[in-house]
Amino acid sequence: MAQFHQLDFLFLIFDSNAGVIVMQDSRLSEQSKIKNQKSKILLPLPFRSSTALVLFFGVCALGLAVDLFSKVYAFEHLVIEQTTLPNGQILVDSRDLKFIPGLLHFHATTNQGAVFGIGQGKRWLFVVVSIGAIAFLTYLFALSGRQWFYQLLLGMLLAGVLGNMYDRIVYGYVRDMLYALPGWHWSDLLGKPVNPTSWRNNEIFPWIFNIADSLLCVGVFLMLCYSFFTRNDAEDGQQPQLNADERG
């Protein structure tokens, strides 16, 4: 009989301990749920949307891959000789590949500046600017909500920034190969000038660029158009409300 009471007492102790453990487990699970909910609340919407992530990071990865591949292909197949001058300037002797004759040729060259050759020799300045641009584009993506087209444009811009920044860090210059409107001069459209030094003898588009430059220029242009039209839509949506308030 005494043994029965002892066993019964032991079972009671076990049951009470088990209850405490269950209560502790339930509290821990509730705390983990609260932490997960807080982490979800703190994470911006685009980072929780698979569509937004694909549009931003997916488009960026695709654009960057195309840009780097085109650069490698051009410099492996078009460059005849590359020379570095004592002042650090790099000259490239390249073949011409007429992709669309008279409209688009491939001609490899280097650019130690920015778009259109601006700021020659400012390598690390442009690297710092690129890092700032990456941070800013990521910030805009975090605030983009469900603006799918806007996120696609941000991905294009990010690919352009990363493509040229990679070249500046690894090579010290940007690899260019796209030559649009080769040999086209203003005199072809406006007539040959009498003065041989006239600006009409200049090429219409003398710059050679790359895929990253194209992504940046097209992305900025479409971004301006998108901002203009979405702003007009917002103003049109507010106008009926203003009219209703005036009538009231």
Active-site residue list? 176, 213
CA atoms within 13 A on the CB side of 179: 21
58 DSSP assignment: I
Distance CA 94, CA 178 (A): 12
Three-class secondary structure of residue 145 per DSSP: coil
Q: Are 208 and 200 spatial neighbours (Cβ–Cβ below 8 Å)?
A: no
Degrees, nearest 5: CA angle 219-223-228? 155
Distance CA 148, CA 146 (A): 6
196 DSSP assignment: T
Instruction: Provide the greatest CA pair distance for the chain.
Output: 127
Counting beta carbons within 10 angstroms of the beta carbon of residue 83, is it exposed (0 to 12), middle (13 to 18) or buried (19 or more)?
exposed
